[in-house]
Structure 1
């Protein structure tokens, strides 16, 4: 006698756009934390996960990432996604980076353009606050 399972197991899937949205939010959170904390300490940079859902210095982070090269911006998005508290999707995201790299980067491009278009009227104050140096970001991303 066989018993029917209580539930049907399903693999949850998200669209590439959803992964890109999460990665962009993660990147904005990461840069916002760098801005909020000011610099790296001797113990390294530890982003505050209390601000994951409401990134600090969001507008300034968008400006700063807009100034960066596309390749570096995508590295920040990837690092942001991977530094988020465990959301159950990091493993799949890592596999996507290997198997669908170009598609994921194209999705980053499209989703980033949509976000920056929404932020056309940025105040002058946010432009002045955008002072995170590429050196600090490079150290954070490349020295992992």
Structure 2
């Protein structure tokens, strides 16, 4: 059970809460490092996208109850963000934390610091421009007003 201010937010097995958090509080509470949150606007056309504040876009899963122009908050788990030469997102590396078995680093993206967790040695250093990709089925979408999960 995850509680906040004395109220039950979600009940379930730990991995169920991790994989399908009911709201932004649960999403940010479960997992280390914590989930990244980015404000976005839905753009529907051929392929639905979440357009970030800097104009970059992430492809959204099909079939969600979203309309063109909806404000959403996109949740990204650090371990689901991958370095890719053809990644849809571009940002600048800030702090790099080599942890031996893994590397945790922060990328400035859409006026936010995005935490990325990579197994092994990521080969990035502060100041590097990197491209990132996240599979649509690994995105978590939330209503920015209520904080509730969408879909």
Structure possessing the higher relative contact order (Cα contacts under 8 Å, 6 or more residues apart): 1
| TM bracket (short chain) | under 0.3
Q: TM-score, normalised by structure 2?
A: 0.22
Select the structure of larger CA radius of gyration.
1
